[in-house]
Structure 1
Amino acid sequence: MESSKVLALYCLGIICLQITVDGSKILLFPNDVGYNSRVMNMLKLGRMLTNAKHQVTCVISDKMREEAMFKLAEGENADLSFNVVSYKTPPVEMRTDNEDLSDLMLNLDMPQLYVIVGAMFFNTLENTLKDKTIVKLAKEDFDLIITDELVFFPRIISANRSIPIILYSNFGTLTFDSDIIPRYSLAFVNGCFNRFSDVMSFFQRLENVWEYLRVKLVLSDAYSAAKVLCRSYGYGKSCDNIREIHKTVNLVLMNRNDVIHYPAPYMPHIVSTEGFFLEKPKPLDAYYKDILKGSETHGIIVVSFGSLFRRLGRKYRTIFAKAFSRMPQTVIWSYEGETPEGLGENTIVNKWIPQTDLLSSPAVKLFVTQCGASSLFEALNNGLPVVGVPFIGDQEYNCLKLAKRVKSAKIVKLNTITSEQLQNAMEEVINNETYRTNARKAATMYHDQLIDPRNKTLYWIEYVIRHKGAQHLRSAGENQLNFFQYYLLDIAGSVVIVIIIALTSVTVIVKALLKCLVNATKLKKA
């Protein structure tokens, strides 16, 4: 009887706790520089919150609504799921050819890429600052702001209206601003999107520090320009939060899991979301069922290079097509550019494929991907061996974690790729059972979690709402320390001064004693 009363009280407490957060007003700000996995994952987060009875307002540009990928992936779901508010963007001249985006970005290192991305941040900030609809929206009373770590305007709203803010890092531990998820020790933590594990040689650590400092310098310039622009619109001290968001953020949600990412220290307000955006596979339609049925002998290979590389220049699309044509498997390629030369009869090309549903099929022998944040977790979730072809950003870093840490992948570098090289890599990963064994082992560990990733993510968001912030999870002391205090240079300096004083004193005393001994010896002889 007593136990039933306890259970009843517990259930009542859970219900009351739920009531306190139901119907909270949440402002959702994806990173709007084109429809990609960052945007897709944040929209999924918005739907999770809507299903949990929250009122979600999502801000996207008018240009986003017109993108073919947005229409294909989202359709009318965005407007049906939550209140969508659009801001105006100036017209730009669109590229009409199919030149390979990788040709433009392949030779850029991360600091150079940051310069390009920084310009995008600035343009997005300017567009939102001058849009009357967004300015009006910013004056409404919201309980919480959830934004991509790359968007500046929500930081201003948060400081101006004293609204708790949560940042979402699609790149996981490697935020663009290293202060948001601090790299506490560059001796074993990657400072940028470097190709290193947590065991680095002297020269790797040297490069790690150098790239880290270069990126900090570039980002500092982007912040300074953004603050000047912000102040010109009359937001005053609220503009300081553009740079100082790491001191005010309540929670950071990062795509990270212990199975695939290297261990590192994190503050309590930095939470691993474990791939919350992964969806349960649905039954395939008749078209794809027939494809799988006709591929029972050798299986299938799924190929996807993410939303940015759905169109490839002649060089790369020909290399890929020829390599795929030589494989005995049926290849299903998510691609919408010009028809590649040398495309084999075994290769099926579609603008949109049910990737999640296909990857869950036991007929899949290999996943060929650029190793973006989403495809990284898809491979991990389904226990699939991978051939990684990284293009830009975090993709090489992700591929290396599959290849070196999980040992379920082989990497083919884009700048030296040939059809033969890609073919050999695919054949090795398919025919060597070790890759699949390692992938399945990692998948088993990934699924062995205390709490479902979606429930975990939702819990922490509602935790911030319930307590109207979570400043107690963030270290105030860390943010108040200056450079010398943070790296204990003041302590080291004090120790050095004490040692110098002690050595000087000992030297003076020894010299004085020696002088006395010499004088005493002279007197004795005299």
Structure 2
Amino acid sequence: MKILLEALHSQSHQITVLRSSTSWYVSEFSPYYTSITIPQEQPQNLESQAAMTSFLKRSMEIRRNRCSVWAFFEFYRTIFNLFGESQQDVAKLVVCIFENKTLIRELKETGYDLFLTDPAFPGGVLVAHYLKLPLVFNVRWIFSGEAHFAIAPSPLSYIPVVFSYYSDKMDFFQRVSNIVYHSILVYMYHYVSNPPYQAVCDHYFGSNVSTMSLMQRADLWLMRVDFTFEFPRPTMPNVIYIGGFQGKPSQPLPSDLEEFVQSSGEHGVIVMTLGTLLSDLGPEVSETIASSFANLPQKVVWRHIGKRPTTLGNNTMLVEWLPQNDILGHPKTRAFVSHGGTNGLYEAIYHAVPVLGIPLIFDQDDNMVRMRARGVAEIVEVTTMDVDSMTSALKNILDPEKPYKENMIKLSQIHHDKPIKPIDSAIFWMDYVMRHKGSAHLRTESYKLPWYAFYCLDLYYM
């Protein structure tokens, strides 16, 4: 979101950000926007480092038994608890906004042209409706799963559901499983995610308004993927694909890092990072990874938080922070070891760097399945990997006789071969919505149909 705000600001737009008082990653002060802070008693669990560390630990326990029936139900129970609590917190935050009559009056009197929000936690959807503003999403996920399922035909025969870990090539039993996974997400929507927001809708808008219907009537969906990454699927005119919008040319590295990278010689460098929230996997996994790196001729730059592994080789530099985009774009970078977050994968595509995935939580497994299907990545299971399997996977990725690098170069070329950069497309379409005060002409009206009319069941009855 910060990247979009910076781009809007560069076009002389004036931006106001609504943030909670407990947010640690949405700064109260910025040269790009002014902020309005909404009091919140406690942070959402997804905004807490401690909560995410605890969730990661629990997820890894479940992954160790991932083939058991117990693990299947425990996985979804944990997900439901995590997201259910967060959705309740966001719904309470919306009520705080609605009950602050002074704030609401100021927001209405300011005369905003657009409301931009991420609908994974759809508090912004309700606020936009309350203020009667054109609505634009920066989106990949909504509170019931992947965003396309809310607005576009999504046949389960070839469109895998999140947490299925399938590609778009499914056999009979995988298609059966895909339907089961989809049914669980439908259950989550009706009984976990939606009830807190539906209570707000009932109170402030009336029982004939639902959060899902408000989302489906959004003017524009800026989708944070494109079809170099995502599997082909039906879509809608008001879905604009901006996958890789954060991509940019690399900048020179800090002198100490550049010196280390240059010392790699012809073998090059491996980059490893597991993101901001998931940096410490514990000593056992860290020792395995360190030993694997020590077996390689390449140098390694590893963003590592926690105790220094005793098996760390002389070829590995540990850092608490690294300029990920800049080092991925360095000509000596040979491979990227990642948890499979979308931003990092798109940076790898932008700079044509093959990926070894160690997926941990949320959509990371599904992301890595998409990369593996493109022939640009391999996956190792964090709970079963040992030094030999990790080393073997790395050598496969690095082997010039294997097609990973060649495939990634081709994928990168496809990603770059566009008439307009993704970030410029995002800005154009937001300006478009502001110029025309919405884009209802791009939106299907199917969301207004009752379910039986949508499926023409009333015709069959006649």
- Partner SS for 2:209: helix
In the alignment, the residues of structure 2 paired with residue 153 and residue 346 of structure 1 have an alpha-carbon distance, to the nearest angstrom, of 47
Change (3 A) 1:135 1:422: farther
User: Quick one: which of 176, 185, 199 aligns to 1:228?
Assistant: 199
Q: Which moved more, 1:448-457 or 1:91-100?
A: 91-100
Residue aligning to 1:472: 441
In the alignment, which of 297, 307, 317 is matched to residue 338 of structure 1? 307
Runs of 5+ in structure 1 lacking a partner?
A: 1-41, 495-526
User: Please, which of 58, 78, 84 is the counterpart of residue 104 of structure 1?
Assistant: 58
Alpha-carbon distance, 1:95 to partner = 7.4
Q: Which amino acid aligns with 1:220?
A: H
Inter-partner Cα distance in structure 1 for 2:200 and 2:432: 34
Displacement after TM superposition at 1:176 (Å): 4.4
Q: Name which of 33, 37, 43 aligns with 1:86.
A: 37
Larger Rg: 1
Deviations, residues 376-403 of structure 1 (Å, cap 9, x unaligned): 2111111111111111121111111111
* Counterpart residue type for residue 40 of structure 2: T
Are the counterparts in 2 of residues 408 and 436 from structure 1 also a CA contact under 8 Å? Answer: yes
Q: 1:54 matched to which residue of 2?
A: 13
Q: Which amino acid aligns with 1:484?
A: Y
Q: Helix, strand or coil for the counterpart of 1:279?
A: coil
Cα separation, 1, equivalents of 2:233 and 2:41: 42
Aligned counterparts of 1:79 and 1:396: Cα–Cα separation in 2:
34
Given the alignment, which residue of 342, 345, 370 partners 1:401?
Answer: 370
Displacement after TM superposition at 1:97 (Å): 11
Structure 2-normalised TM-score? 0.87
- Once residues 144 and 206 of structure 1 are traced to their aligned partners in structure 2, the CA distance between those partners, rounded to angstroms, is 42
- Does residue 113 in structure 1 map to residue 79 in structure 2? yes
Query: For the structure 1 residues 57 and 430, does the alpha-carbon distance in structure 2 shift closer, same or farther, using more than 3 Å as the test?
Result: same
Contact 1:60 / 1:84 at 8 angstroms: preserved in 2? yes
Structure 2 counterpart of 1:261, one-letter code: E
Partner of 2:69: none
RMSD: 2.8
Instruction: Kindly indicate whether the alpha-carbon contact (under 8 Å) linking 2:280 and 2:304 is maintained by their aligned counterparts in 1.
Output: yes
Deviations along 1:431-489, whole A, 9 cap, x unmatched?
A: 1441111111111111111211111111111111111011111111x223333333344
1:220-243 alpha-carbon deviations (Å, 9 max, x no partner): 222122222565xx5233993523
In structure 2, C-alpha distance between the alignment counterparts of 1:196 and 1:347, rounded to whole Å: 34
For 2:50 and 2:194, the matched residues in 1 are separated by: 33
The residue matched to 2:197 in structure 1 has which SS?
Answer: helix
State whether structure 2 residue 243 is matched by structure 1 residue 292.
no
In 2, the alpha carbon distance for the partners of 1:474 and 1:210 equals: 30
Letter in 2 for 1:104: R
User: Match for 2:161 among 169, 191, 197?
Assistant: 191
Aligned to 2:429: 460
CA distance in 1, matches of 2:406, 2:397: 11
Residues 279/100 of structure 1: CA separation in 2 closer, same or farther (3 Å cut): farther
What is the percentage of aligned positions where both structures have the same residue? 25
In 1, Cα distance between equivalents of 2:148 and 2:196: 19
Q: Structure 1 residue 367: deviation in Å?
A: 0.4
Q: How does 1:340-355 map to 2 (within 5 A)?
A: 340-355=309-324
Contact 1:321–1:344 (8 Å) recurs in 2: yes
Which amino acid in 2 is paired with 1:463? Y
- CA distance in structure 2 between the partners assigned to 1:147 and 1:239 by the alignment: 23
Deviation at 1:103, TM superposition (A): 2.0
Corresponding residue for residue 116 of structure 2: 146
Structure 2 unmatched ranges of 5 or more = 63-73
Looking at structure 1, the residues matched to 51 and 441 of structure 2 have their Cα atoms a distance apart, in angstroms, of 52
Q: Which amino acid aligns with 2:266?
A: T
Instruction: Tell me if 1:319 matches 2:288.
Output: yes
In structure 1, the partner of 2:67 is none
Partner of 2:386: 418
TM-score (norm 1): 0.77
Show the counterpart of 1:506.
none
Q: Deviations over 1:299-338 (max 9, x none)?
A: 1100011222122222322222222222221111122223
SS of the residue 2:164 aligns to: coil
Q: Give per-residue Cα distances to partners, 1:267-322, cap 9 Å, x unaligned.
A: 10111113112233211121111111211232110001122212222232222222
In the TM superposition, what are the counterparts of 1:349-388 in structure 2 within 5 Å? 349-388=318-357
Partner of 1:216: 186
Q: Secondary structure at the match of 2:266?
A: coil
Distance (whole Å) between structure 1 residues aligned to residue 275 and residue 208 of structure 2: 34
Supply the distance in 2 between the matched residues of 1:373 and 1:265 (Cα, whole angstroms): 21
| SS, match of residue 438 in structure 1 | helix
Distance 2:86 2:120 in 1: 10
Q: Is the 8 A contact 2:288 2:386 kept in 1?
A: yes
Aligned partners of 1:303 and 1:369 also within 8 Å: yes
* AA of the residue aligned to 1:88: P
- Label 1:134 to 1:443 Cα distance change in 2 as closer, same or farther (>3 A): farther
Q: Partners in 1 of 2:208 and 2:115 — Cα distance?
A: 16
**What are the superposed Cα offsets for residues 107-131 of structure 1, whole Å, 9 maximum, x if unpaired?**
2545742441132122123134326
C-alpha distance in 1, partners of 2:51/2:145?
A: 33
Aligned equivalents of 1:95 and 1:375: distance in 2?
20
